[in-house]
Structure 1
C-alpha cells in the first residue's frame, strides 16, 4: 500500500500528460500549441507567483498552527481550529475565490487569499497528526535527559514528524497548482487564461497549451518538493 500511495500521484500526472500529448499529436495540434509559446512563458511566471505566494503564506501559518494544536493543553482549541479549517476546505474552490473577490475586488490579492485558504488544511492537519503520532517513549527519553519543551519540539518532535509534514505540503501544493487556473476568473492571471479563453473561443490548441503547461508544472513542483523532502529530513528518521 505504501508503494501504491507513492506511485499513484505520479501515475495520474503521467497518464494525463500522455493522454493530452497523444490527443494533440493525433489531431495535428502541435503547431497550434507552439503558436502560444510566448504566452505560456509569461503566464507560467504568473502561475508560479500565485503558487509561491499563497503556498508560502499557507506553510508559514499552517505549521505553527499545527504545532499549537498538537500541544496536550490545546485539545479543545485544536478541535475548534480543525472544524474551521474543514469548513474552509469544504467550500468549493471557485466559491472561495468568488467570496475573496467580493471583499477584495478583482486581481491577484483576491486570488492569493482564496488559494491561501484552500491550501491551509493539508499542512496544518499533517503537522498536527505528525506530532501527535510520535511514540511517547521518545518524549519521555528527552525529558529524562533534561531537555526543555522547546528543545524537545525542535530536536525530537519536528525532525521525526517532518516526513508527515512534507506529505501535507506536497498535497497542499498539488491542490494549489491545480486550483490556480481558476484564479483567471477573478482577474488573478495564470495559465487559466489560456484554458478558459480557449474554451470560450473553441480553440483546442490554446486550451491544450494551458492544460499541458499546468500538468507539467504540477509534476515539476512535486519533483522539487520531493528533493526538498529528501535533503531536509534527517537520514535517521526517513522511512
Structure 2
C-alpha cells in the first residue's frame, strides 16, 4: 500500500480553500462562527473575568494588609511569586487530583497567576505616594483610613491599572492552556485544530485570542485615563 498524505476531514460541499487546506479559509470560519468560535470566545471571556475579579479582590486585600503591616510584605510577596513561577500545565495537573477536571480547577490556577502582578502593582502604587502628601493629610485632620481612601488609593490608581493590564493579558493567554483540562475557551478549538491538518480552525481561534488580549488592554488603558485624567496632564507637563 502506498503512503498517503494528510487526510482533510470531509466537510461536505466546500470551497477550494477548504479542499486544498489553505492557510485561512474565511468562508469556513464564517460558517462555523456561531457554533465553534463565538461560544469559545464567550467562555474565554467568562473564565478570564472570573479569575481577574477574584484575583483582584484577594490581591488588593493582601496589598492593603501588607501596606499597614510592613513585615508581611516579604512573606506575602514570596507566596504570590511562588504561585506565579509554577508552569500553568503543571499547576493544573497538581490540582486535578483534588478538584478534578473542572472549571473550579482552572479558576483556582488562573486566580493564582493574577495574584503576584496585582499584589505588587497595588503595593507599589501605595508605597510611591509621597510622604509629604500623607503629612499634609494628617495636618488637615484626616484619619489613617481617610488618608488611604482620599489620598493614597487615588494616587495609586495608575499603578493598579497598569498591573491589571498585565494580569489581564497574562490570564487570557493562560486560559488557552486550561483547555487541556476543560473543553472551554479558545484553547479548545486551537487544540482540536492542531490535532488535524486543517489550518483554519486553530489559526482562527489563535487570532481571536490575540484580538481579545489587544481589545482588553485597550479598554483598560481607556478606563485608566478616565479614572486618572490628572495623570495624563502630569505626563504632558
Fold-level similarity (TM above 0.5):
yes
Aligned residues: 211
| CA–CA distance in structure 2, aligned partners of residues 236 and 167 of structure 1 | 16
| CA–CA distance in structure 2, aligned partners of residues 95 and 28 of structure 1 | 32
| CA–CA distance in structure 2, aligned partners of residues 112 and 126 of structure 1 | 21
Q: Report which stretch shifted further, 81-90 or 196-205.
A: 196-205
* Residue pair 2:63, 2:122 contacting (<8 A) in 1 also: yes
Deviations 1:68-110 (A, max 9, x none): 2122xx2221110001111001111121222222211112111
| CA–CA distance in structure 2, aligned partners of residues 195 and 132 of structure 1 | 42
Provide the secondary structure at the position in 1 that maps to 2:129: coil
| CA–CA distance in structure 2, aligned partners of residues 87 and 113 of structure 1 | 15
Corresponding residue of 2:44:
47
2:78 to 61, 66, 83: 83
| CA–CA distance in structure 1, aligned partners of residues 88 and 183 of structure 2 | 14
Runs of 4+ in 1 over 6 A off after TM superposition: none
Corresponding residue of 1:110:
105
* Residue pair 2:24, 2:200 contacting (<8 A) in 1 also: no
Higher helix share: 1
| CA–CA distance in structure 2, aligned partners of residues 42 and 228 of structure 1 | 26
> Could you tell me how far 1:43 is from its partner in structure 2?
0.7
Given the superposition, is the C-alpha separation of residues 28 and 200 from structure 1 closer, same or farther in structure 2, using an over 3 Å criterion?
closer
| CA–CA distance in structure 1, aligned partners of residues 26 and 38 of structure 2 | 16
Corresponding residue of 1:7:
none
> Could you tell me how far 1:188 is from its partner in structure 2?
5.2
Provide the secondary structure at the position in 2 that maps to 1:134: coil
1:114-125 matched pairs, under 5 angstroms = 114-125=109-120
Structure 1: give runs of 5+ residues left out of the alignment: 1-25
Deviations 1:133-188 (A, max 9, x none): 11110001101111000000001000001000100000000000111111111115
Corresponding residue of 1:13:
none
2:173 to 152, 175, 178: 178
* Residue pair 2:24, 2:204 contacting (<8 A) in 1 also: no
**Rg larger in structure:** 2
| CA–CA distance in structure 1, aligned partners of residues 107 and 149 of structure 2 | 30
Given the superposition, is the C-alpha separation of residues 69 and 28 from structure 1 closer, same or farther in structure 2, using an over 3 Å criterion?
closer
Question: What's the C-alpha RMSD, in Å, of the aligned pairs?
Answer: 1.5
| CA–CA distance in structure 1, aligned partners of residues 163 and 183 of structure 2 | 25
